[in-house]
Amino acid sequence: MGETEEDVLEALAMVIIVVLGLIVLIVSIMPSSFTGTSAGAFAVATGISYSISGLSLADEGSMTRYLNGSYDIEIGLEEDSDGPLKNYYIRATAYGKGNPLSPIDKIIFIGDMQLDKDPTKLVNVTYISLTKSYGKPVRIVKTTETRFSDALCKEPTPEKIKDYIQTYSPDKEEQKWIKAIIMTESGYVHCSGSTVGAFGFMQLMEIAARDVGISDRFDPEQNIDGGVRYYRKLVQKYESYDDKYVLAVASYNCGKIGTLVSQNCDAQNIYIGCWEKAVREFTREKECQGSGGKETYNYVDRVKTCVKYYEQNPECYNSPGTGSSCPKSSDCGNW
């Protein structure tokens, strides 16, 4: 059976998507002169551009890209043409601690788009959905706006924080770990975001929030609920280990911990003291180092220090030094 023109265009679209997808993957993992945030913005812009290009060549379809962070996106017409495809540009700006950072240089791509405005500017979005109907250009149909703005984000009262923690983590053994994670992640400041898109008391990522059924991680109650659910899920994952709470803390900070546990504890049947015997040193020397060189290594030590503090002060549901129930500490929070 002979190939139609539509078959050829669809095949070409798939080739473009695969090739550009490999480029994005290589860029995202290779060492470069980009900072972490600008590299993320470059990967986001490139990924969206090849999605638009691929859909432009297809008869119809849809695609949603989750950005795993918050970005300003600008798309505009670079150069008009008489053909079905035109030259567009896209640029992305990452957010750092709730504020937009410097945008990357624009990326040029080909496609056929319906822009409500030229340029179209999408503010502080975490995902973008595209659709292509037969005989029509690609349209942006949905994005979601985050709530980093101080005018929109409000800190809950200490009473509310206590209520949220008690409601979603009533078990005292689990609760002291939750309190310590909140202290280490955000210092009990809800209106705080990271350069990679984490937000809130427990610095919950968009992907993690969706994974545990949370619809609005920018709501303080849902943020704590989601953080507790995610940590509890990790504890259950390491149920076979006597230090499951510690391994869950490490995994909360770095997703690669699961692989390290499998390679260094499961393989050697180490189920007692897995973190100290077989995983901890790897996080200092090889994995989960972060920008500071020993991120997860230090993170776990900080959480364990705060666990001791909340064991000694079980009625404290905030940071040390914030009231009679939360006396000052020379260790927890002093890093």
pLDDT of residue 160: 97
Which range among 69-83, 127-141, 164-178 shows the weakest confidence by mean pLDDT? 69-83
pTM: 0.62
Residue 319 lies in a domain: no
* pLDDT interval class at 137 (50, 70, 90): very high
Confidence grade of residue 34 (pLDDT, cut at 50, 70, 90) = very low
Exposure string over 104-114, b if 16+ CB within 10 A, otherwise e: bebbebbbbbe
* More confident call, 335 vs 117: 117
- Give dist(CA 307, CA 301) in Å, integer: 10
Q: In this predicted structure, what is the pLDDT of residue 30?
A: 35
Check if the beta carbon of residue 199 is closer than 8 Å to that of residue 223: yes
Domain span at 289? 158-312
Is pLDDT above 50 for 201?
Answer: yes
- What are the start-end ranges of the H helices in the chain? 5-29, 36-57, 158-168, 172-186, 206-211, 220-237, 244-253, 257-261, 274, 280-285, 295-312
Parallel, antiparallel or unpaired: strands 61-79 and 86-96: antiparallel
Residue 191 phi, psi (nearest 5)? -80, 65
Domain-located, residue 335: no
Q: Do 130 and 232 belong together in one domain?
A: no
My answer on whether 124 and 35 are in the same domain is yes
Q: Give SS3 for 102.
A: coil
pLDDT digit string (tens) for 103-122? 778 899 999 999 888 888 88
Q: 9 and 113: one domain?
A: yes
Same domain, 46 and 119: yes
Each residue of 39-88: pLDDT tens digit?
778 888 888 998 999 999 988 888 887 776 778 899 999 876 667 789 99
CATH number, domain containing residue 180: 1.10.530.10
If you write DSSP's letter for every residue of 260-274 in order, what string do you get?
A: HHIIIIITTT--SSH
Which of 196, 53, 300 has its CA nearest to residue 204? 196
Cβ contact 137:56 at 8 Å: yes
pLDDT given at position 251: 94
The DSSP call for residue 147 is -
> Are 129 and 228 contained in the same domain?
no
**Residue 20 falls within a domain, yes or no?**
yes
Number of domains present in the structure of the chain = 2
- Which tops the pLDDT comparison, 27 or 301? 301
Domain edge (last residue) among 110, 145, 180: 145
Average pLDDT estimate for 221-230? 97
Give a yes or no: residue 228 inside a domain: yes
pLDDT in tens, 237-296: 999 999 999 999 999 998 889 999 999 999 999 999 999 998 988 876 666 765 444 688
Question: Are residue 140 and residue 162 in the same domain, yes or no?
Answer: no
- Residue 331: inside a domain, yes or no? no
The burial class, CB within 10 Å (0-12 / 13-18 / 19+), for 76 is middle
Q: How far is CA 257 from CA 173, 229, 335, in A?
A: 22, 18, 23
Does 194 lie in the same domain as 139? no
84 vs 32: which has the higher pLDDT: 84
Quick one: 236 and 262 in the same domain? yes
Are β-strands 113-114 and 138-145 bridged in parallel, bridged antiparallel, or unpaired? parallel
Which of 89-103, 226-240, 280-294, 310-324 bottoms out in mean pLDDT, i.e. has the lowest? 280-294
Same domain for 209 and 137: no
* pLDDT of the residue at 215: 83
User: Is 333 within a domain?
Assistant: no
Average of pLDDT values for 289-316? 86
Q: CA distances (Å), 20 to each of 24, 49, 74, in order?
A: 6, 9, 20
The reported pLDDT for the residue numbered 116 is 81
Q: What percentage of residues in the chain have a pLDDT greater than 90?
A: 44
The pLDDT value given to residue 165: 98
| Final residue belonging to a domain, choices 145, 169, 185 | 145
CB-based contact 71:41 (threshold 8 Å)? yes
Mean pLDDT of the chain: 82
Secondary structure class of 117 (helix, strand, coil): coil
323 lies in a domain? no
247 in the same domain as 130? no
pLDDT score, position 44 = 86
- Please give the DSSP secondary-structure letter assigned to residue 105: P
- The stretch 190-217 carries a mean pLDDT of 84
In a domain, 150, yes or no: no
Q: Are residues 136 and 189 in the same domain?
A: no
> Does residue 239 sit in the same domain as residue 282?
yes
323 Ramachandran zone, left/alpha/beta (phi>0; psi -120 to 50): left
Say what the pLDDT of residue 33 is. Answer: 33
